[in-house]
Chain A
């Protein structure tokens, strides 16, 4: 049983005081200021007058910015969906692997996760750019095809046109999947690992195929894990800054890039603050939806 704080006031104060102080001063206060700024406007070059206006929010839902919000949510949703499709078999394989293989597979999933995000993004740039490895490989194949065509006396293939793989929405989604796949696999694995395997065996014994077992038994039981994997992937993907910034083109801006521009270049802090809080509210809504859903589904025992 937990102790009442009154029984050891000194210990309680000593243990809770400093971290709470830190949390309030260096986290809640800064957020509160941003929140207050979102109801203000620029007053001169450096001052911000907090006037309680909703103008910034009104501007944020103008079509120009609303489109970016919708697009960001869309990109994050596609990323999450693809991560789920790609990651689910991986999590399933890890769950039913031998203990030794399990350790190694988990490590292999974790390792990119521990590697610096910027380095991983940079690695993707090197793969995708016009002189990148993908285009180099395609060029090689193209030339091989050309030689073959010449040998067979067919029309020459012409010059190789490198594919534009970088600086577009495709690159952004690929980059987001690349970065967030471990986020999806780990919660999926921890949900699947807790499954009662005899239920699966029973289903297979009673004549259901693997696919049917998967969709009728595994997925419903693992639903809370799937929901948390979806949430854990969706939230950072929605607020992604680096990936759209480095891999995206002019039309693949996401919310975070707009916010950054307000604070660093456009110098419109109140508007940026309003955008930040809208992004935050979207995050909270996603969390709330997940909480409601996971309460509805029966806990897998």
Chain B
């Protein structure tokens, strides 16, 4: 890396060693996923030798009622838990931003806990809670039967939303709020017309984060889910344990494409801040 010719001294990206390193890292990150997607179109059960293009595994995946039901469950859970997480996260962020009160450090600390506690610990805590304290009634109709999973998902998502919203609120000029008050706006009006517009980008970013966290979660759901409330990751897990099949490839491809579309939409909506906001990378 010590050459001092063509590229400028700090233009590390223009050095071939660096480019080779980056290329290797991105191949490592993407090759398995691309192979997975490519072989979902492969007309061979063995999943290895390319035999020709087919969509039959998509047909199979889409006709697999268990898989479709799990997929629907996952989307429902993600949607509901996102709404609740954004509301709760924004509220607690607002309270912590605006007020000083006794016990604030304790609330701060407690709010950080779901972010740092290992997933497995939270998973067993949820298992115990729903087994002993609040047994979720069996045989409820859809979507009420998903309640336990939704509660668990909100518990680990909303602190992330709070982090994102608080980061955003730190750039808010408090004088704006006072000005609104001075000009005669009440509490509600101030929040709606002055604070919320400033918060809005972080709400979108937080919602996106909550949605992805929920859709992605396996461990905590695995401990909370009953036999008739299977989510997509739990279903894929049970399929993967037995074998690698093109059907799982097809279902995974659909989810990857969905993720890419969601990310693209978020980036379009937001400029780039949405993808990185709050992603200190704390999700465990």
Q: Footprint of B on A, CB under 8 Å? A: 1-5, 8, 10-12, 14-16, 18-20, 22-24, 26-31, 33-34, 37, 86-87, 89-90, 92-93, 96-98, 101, 103, 105-127, 129, 131-133, 136, 178, 181-184, 186-187, 190, 197, 200-201, 204, 209-211, 228-229, 232, 235-236, 238-239, 241-242, 246, 255-256, 259-260, 263-264, 269, 272-273, 276-277, 279-280, 283-284, 287
Q: How far is the CA of A147 from the CA of B111 in the complex (A)?
A: 64
Q: How far is the CA of A109 from the CA of B30 in the complex (A)?
A: 10
Chain A residues with CB under 8 Å of B122's CB are 27, 30-31
Most chain A CB inside 10 Å of its own CB: which residue of B10, B30, B232, B255: B10
Binds A, one of B51-59, B86-94, B138-146: B86-94
Closest A residue by C-beta to B208: A114
Closest B residue by C-beta to A28: B110
Chain A residues with CB under 8 Å of B249's CB are 126
Across chains A and B, the number of contacting residue pairs, with CB separation under 8 Å, is 295
Closest A residue by C-beta to B88: A19
* Binary interface encoding of chain B residues 145-163 relative to chain A, with 1 for a CB under 8 A from any of its CBs, else 0: 0000001101100110010
B18 is an interface residue with CB less than 8 A from chain A: yes
B99–A114 touching, CB < 8 Å: no
B100 is an interface residue with CB less than 8 A from chain A: yes
Partner of B215, one of A23, A116, A133, A246: A116
Partner of B125, one of A33, A103, A109, A279: A33
Chain A residues with CB under 8 Å of B6's CB are none
Partner of B121, one of A8, A29, A31, A105: A31
Taking A12-B95, A93-B21, A210-B1 as contacts, is the C-beta distance between A115 and B121 under 8 angstroms? no
21 contacts between A and B (CB under 8 A): A2-B98, A5-B101, A11-B187, A16-B101, A23-B114, A26-B129, A30-B126, A33-B125, A93-B18, A96-B12, A106-B272, A115-B33, A115-B259, A118-B218, A120-B32, A120-B33, A123-B32, A190-B280, A241-B119, A263-B124, A272-B124
Chain A residues with CB under 8 Å of B255's CB are 115-116, 119
Partner of B154, one of A1, A16, A22, A259: A22
A19–B275 touching, CB < 8 Å: no
A15–B92 touching, CB < 8 Å: yes
Not counting A186-B281, A246-B240, A260-B120, a sample of 10 additional A-B residue pairs whose C-beta atoms are within 8 angstroms of each other reads A3-B99, A11-B98, A19-B92, A30-B129, A90-B22, A125-B240, A129-B244, A136-B48, A232-B282, A239-B119
Q: How far is the CA of A91 from the CA of B105 in the complex (A)?
A: 33
Q: How far is the CA of A209 from the CA of B1 in the complex (A)?
A: 9
Which of the four size classes fits the interface of chain B? 35 or more
Chain A residues with CB under 8 Å of B259's CB are 111, 114-116
CB distance from B8 to the nearest CB of A (A): 9
A112–B29 touching, CB < 8 Å: yes
B22–A123 touching, CB < 8 Å: no
Taking A117-B218, A228-B280 as contacts, is the C-beta distance between A19 and B22 under 8 angstroms? no
Q: Footprint of A on B, CB under 8 Å? A: 1-2, 9-13, 18, 21-22, 25-26, 28-33, 35-36, 39, 46-49, 88-89, 91-92, 94-101, 107, 110-111, 113-114, 116-122, 124-129, 132-133, 151-152, 154-155, 158-159, 162, 174, 187, 212, 215-216, 218-219, 223, 232-233, 236-237, 240-241, 244, 248-249, 252, 255-256, 259-260, 262-263, 267, 272, 275-276, 279-284
Partner of B119, one of A31, A126, A236: A236
Q: How far is the CA of A229 from the CA of B279 in the complex (A)?
A: 12
A126–B47 touching, CB < 8 Å: yes
Closest A residue by C-beta to B219: A241
Taking A16-B95, A272-B124 as contacts, is the C-beta distance between A122 and B248 under 8 angstroms? yes
Chain B residues with CB under 8 Å of A33's CB are 125, 128-129, 132-133
CB distance from A83 to the nearest CB of B (A): 11
Chain A residues with CB under 8 Å of B279's CB are 110, 113, 186
Chain B residues with CB under 8 Å of A103's CB are 272
CB distance from A176 to the nearest CB of B (A): 12
CB distance from A13 to the nearest CB of B (A): 9
B21–A34 touching, CB < 8 Å: no
CB distance from B177 to the nearest CB of A (A): 9
10 closest A-B pairs by beta carbon, nearest first, are: A239-B118, A30-B129, A236-B284, A30-B125, A19-B92, A123-B32, A5-B101, A15-B95, A16-B95, A256-B120
Q: How far is the CA of A19 from the CA of B107 in the complex (A)?
A: 10
Q: How far is the CA of A96 from the CA of B219 in the complex (A)?
A: 37
A187–B280 touching, CB < 8 Å: yes
A29–B101 touching, CB < 8 Å: no
Most chain A CB inside 10 Å of its own CB: which residue of B22, B48, B125, B187: B125
Chain B residues with CB under 8 Å of A129's CB are 244
Q: How far is the CA of A178 from the CA of B237 in the complex (A)?
A: 18
Taking A22-B154, A116-B255 as contacts, is the C-beta distance between A239 and B284 under 8 angstroms? yes
Q: How far is the CA of A48 from the CA of B280 in the complex (A)?
A: 40
Taking A26-B151, A178-B29 as contacts, is the C-beta distance between A131 and B118 under 8 angstroms? no
CB distance from A167 to the nearest CB of B (A): 12
Partner of B46, one of A20, A131, A256: A131
CB distance from B264 to the nearest CB of A (A): 9
